A = this chain, B = another copy of it.
Amino acid sequence: MTVRTAGRPATAAATLHALINTVRAHGLRVSTARRVVLEALVAAQRPLTADEIAAARLDLGSVYRNLETLESIGVVHHVHLGHAAGRYELTGRTAGWATCQACGRSTPLDAEAVTAIAAVVRAATGFAPSFTHFPIVGRCPDCTLERSLA
């Protein structure tokens, strides 16, 4: 049996309620820890590390297990913004990421940019790329300018 929720978890507007419905629809329980993880991700302004999500209230191991479970049902995914710990966010919050190898800052990509880039990547390589798991890595505008001035 499939339970269809009102909205897609595709925008920042994906409410905690909708996410919890999805969890239930997959036959999973809504435990306190699971709810806390979801609340943290809903409130976050950027992808969070497991450590940030645990934040003294939850066991790190439980957080990782929950994130894995939530990834398996598609409501959460993680991104590697550089060499640091992986970061988790609600699915659909961004179209992709770009990280500067010089200053380390990361920026979300808008859908149009990703669409344009994906078309060229596909034409040039045959790959249908995604920049939500590994970002586009390079020099950001600021750091590119710096280098050209040096």
Binding site for B on A (CB under 8 A): 80, 98-101, 107, 109, 112-113, 116-117, 120-121, 123-131, 133-141, 144
Q: How far is the CB of A93 from chain B (nearest CB, A)?
A: 18
Question: What's the Cα separation between A136 and B117 when bound, in Å?
Answer: 11
Residue from the list B98, B116, B117, B134 in contact with A135, Cβ < 8 A? B134
- A126-B140 contact, Cβ under 8 Å, with A134-B135, A135-B134: yes
User: Cβ of A137 and Cβ of B126 under 8 Å apart?
Assistant: no
> What B residues does A129 contact at CB under 8 A?
98, 136-138
Question: What's the Cα separation between A142 and B15 when bound, in Å?
Answer: 36
Question: What's the Cα separation between A99 and B133 when bound, in Å?
Answer: 12
